[in-house]
Structure 1
Amino acid sequence: MDLFDDLPEPTQPGGPVTAARPRAGTEEEEDEKEEEEEEERRAKRKREDAESEADKKEEQGEIKKVCKEGLPVLKGYVAARRGERDEMQDAHVLLPDMSSCLSLPGQSSRVSYFAVFDGHAGARASRFAAEHLHHNLANKFPSNSENVDKLIKKCLLDTFRQTDDDFLKKASSQKPAWKDGSTATCVLVVDDMVYVANLGDSRAVLCRMEAAADGQRRSVTLALSKEHNPTMYEERMRIQRAGGTVRDGRVLGVLEVSRSIGDGQYKRCGVISSPDLRRCQLTANDRFIILACDGLFKVFSADEAVKFVLNIVQEGSGERRAGLTEEEVQFEAACQQLASEAVRRGCADNVTVILVSIGFRAKSSSSSSSQHTQFD
């Protein structure tokens, strides 16, 4: 559609036009001009009707596609290992269904939330974020069905900013002031749309199955987050503009991440709490999401971690447990073994892994809701 179709027709400037003696042929020209304008208006209406019909067909096609695949069923599994650290500074939250806490926009029916927080210089920032960030998110979550993506983006940015401000206020009021900080990687799923907000070097990756040339289905690893460290050009430039320095790959030679919650002593040096935001629509080809702190990815590449989980799930070697389906047993085993293997490979850091399995059900089906929050 023409960008200017909605603009009003031009009018004569300077107010009403007074009658004047017509020149020869003026009335005929006016009649021809009116006929041309009427013809243009009819053609415009036809174009608009055709475009409107095409939009309706496209919308119906999208609705049919969603109805065919249904809504994703998400189940979360978690494994945490202290490693060689004296203290467990990671925290995590699993809320497979937090819809009852929200006023959902439009036709949305379910919201899920999963998050990993990797603390440093103490566990207080990570625990604070795990306790408060999703509550701030619920309070700011949009109820307007228009421009949902834009509103959710603003909601996430405001939520991270408020959580950081609240922690810094609490930290500065202590004697002595807390110096804790934390990364944050949060996966928010609204029906079949995944929104990922990330600060620091924890990561989220998606396993998607795709058909190969030989007809077999193979896994593809999709990055859902972006790491923030001071060696990255844009991060380093922001830190230097704020008066900070980067030495040995760290802010002021100390802090290993360039974005975080907390770390009040580094906020004046360009360390910020604005997350990187990404969006991805789930499909029936998606198997699971791995959400983990850098302890895992120090000894696993993202693709290795995905293949490790996939092998265990496909082998079905987990022990049967009462109350769990065979698939649930397999995903639980894969999550636990992935974290244990990271420690076995020599990771001395805390290791926290959230594994989110993805299945699809018809929209009319009901699903049970559960939640799990862990801070140790």
Structure 2
Amino acid sequence: MGHWSSMFNGLARSFSIKKVKNSGNGVVARETAEVLAKDAKKNDMVLRSSGTVNVNGSKNFASVFSKRGQKGVNQDCCIVWEEFGCQPDMIFCGIFDGHGPWGHFVAKRVRESMPPSLLCNWQESLAQMVHDPEFDVDKKMNWFNVWKSSYLKTCASIDQELEHHRKIDAFNSGTTALSIVRQGEKIIIANVGDSRAVLGTTSDDGDLIAVQLTIDFKPNLPQEAERITQCNGRVFCLLDEPGVHRVWLPDEEVPGLAMSRAFGDYCIKDFGLISVPEVTQRNITSKDQFIVLATDGVWDVVSNQEAVEIVSSTHDRSKASKLLVDHAIQAWKKKRRGIAMDDISAICLFFD
């Protein structure tokens, strides 16, 4: 009872349930969520670039770093929002990897839209439950389903709004999106694309081990390839890129996307590309030390185990993400000579 009472008290402080119920179209909910985002940024609880987030009394410490590759403007972007939605035990972390001529604009737009939209949908879901005559706070609430439903609604609305955005051309451009919400000792993970979340935890023998928490949604995964081909899209590798599977239109060798899920890219949305997230959950234990969120620029050259060992090796947590990114840069030079280095970004979220 205590956990849910605390959560609802925090909800009441951040959001008017009565207004949500009466808003109908959710306008009040969206406006309230956006105000919370502005207040959090003003109070240094939101980070949108390289740096750290460490609010006094928090159980979290987040380190963020991003480095432009050799392909032009940096199309990666990140966000960390501590005390997400005025909830003292919540934090939101998101990492976005744009592609295409407008990819950096698409990535930034999704980064700005996702947290307040998710917060809005989560609050509305809770509000509807509270106003249900059969709701009983003493009964176990299905925490995961509330968050999963909120994420599915959020991603669907973002992709729909992006398609009709007046100032961003996302027809041949898009972005991946990987985000997590930590609420107390639980984590919800939502992944659209091929960025990856990896947990650094301790084995029963006391060794540091890596646990991959997400799937890299590449076009050659059986379930992804089946969906694409059923929609008349094609999946194959170019002769000069063996092993790199891409998504193509039925009759043209475009756009050649190296992932099977993304926001934007409307030129191929009718041919198997989707923006539906895979949503999963995990309980944090005393053995879990940190989570690494990183774009494929890291995972193309660094293994999961290498990544957690690099992050764990630093005594200064504020430098953890930079250390990982710098290691990936050196790995690119050794392993991928002659290939333009990708943008490389990482978030390291530590648990006290």
Give TM-score scaled by structure 2 length.
0.71
**What is the count of residue pairs matched by the alignment?**
262
Aligned match of 2:54: none
Gaps of 5+ in 2: 3-56, 130-136, 238-244, 334-340
Shift of 1:97: 1.5
For residues 58 and 284 of structure 2, the distance between their equivalents in structure 1, rounded to whole angstroms, comes to 8
Give TM-score scaled by structure 1 length.
0.66
Aligned match of 2:209: 220
Cα gap change, 1:82 to 1:281, in 2 (>3 Å): same
Shift of 1:196: 0.5
Question: SS of the residue aligned with 2:110?
Answer: helix
CA contact (8 A) 2:63 2:319 kept: no
Aligned match of 1:209: 202
Aligned match of 1:239: 228
Q: Deviations over 1:95-143 (max 9, x none)?
A: 121131x7xxxxxx62210000000002111111100011110110032
Aligned match of 1:132: 113
Question: SS of the residue aligned with 2:203?
Answer: strand
Could you tell me which of 110, 130, 134 is aligned with 2:89? Answer: 110
Cα gap change, 1:83 to 1:284, in 2 (>3 Å): same
RMSD across aligned C-alpha pairs, in angstroms? 2.0
Question: SS of the residue aligned with 2:257?
Answer: coil
Amino acid in structure 1 at the alignment position of 2:148: K
For residues 165 and 229 of structure 1, the distance between their equivalents in structure 2, rounded to whole angstroms, comes to 23
For residues 121 and 145 of structure 2, the distance between their equivalents in structure 1, rounded to whole angstroms, comes to 13
Aligned match of 2:268: 266
For residues 72 and 208 of structure 1, the distance between their equivalents in structure 2, rounded to whole angstroms, comes to 20
Moved over 6 A (4+): none
Cα gap change, 1:250 to 1:285, in 2 (>3 Å): same
Aligned match of 1:287: 289
CA contact (8 A) 1:185 1:199 kept: yes
CA contact (8 A) 1:182 1:262 kept: yes
CA contact (8 A) 2:173 2:265 kept: yes
Amino acid in structure 2 at the alignment position of 1:161: A
Q: Deviations over 1:45-101 (max 9, x none)?
A: xxxxxxxxxxxxxx99xxxxxxxxxx981111101100212110011110121131x
Q: Deviations over 1:291-348 (max 9, x none)?
A: 0000001110111100111122xxx3xxxxxxxxxxxxx1122221111111122260
Gaps of 5+ in 1: 1-58, 61-70, 103-108, 317-329, 360-376
For residues 75 and 99 of structure 1, the distance between their equivalents in structure 2, rounded to whole angstroms, comes to 18
Shift of 1:209: 1.3
Aligned match of 2:346: 353
CA contact (8 A) 1:124 1:180 kept: no
Amino acid in structure 2 at the alignment position of 1:115: G
CA contact (8 A) 2:197 2:291 kept: yes
Using the aligned pairs only, state the percent identity: 26
For residues 188 and 175 of structure 1, the distance between their equivalents in structure 2, rounded to whole angstroms, comes to 28
Cα gap change, 1:96 to 1:174, in 2 (>3 Å): closer
Q: Deviations over 1:263-308 (max 9, x none)?
A: 1111011100111111110012111110000000111011110011
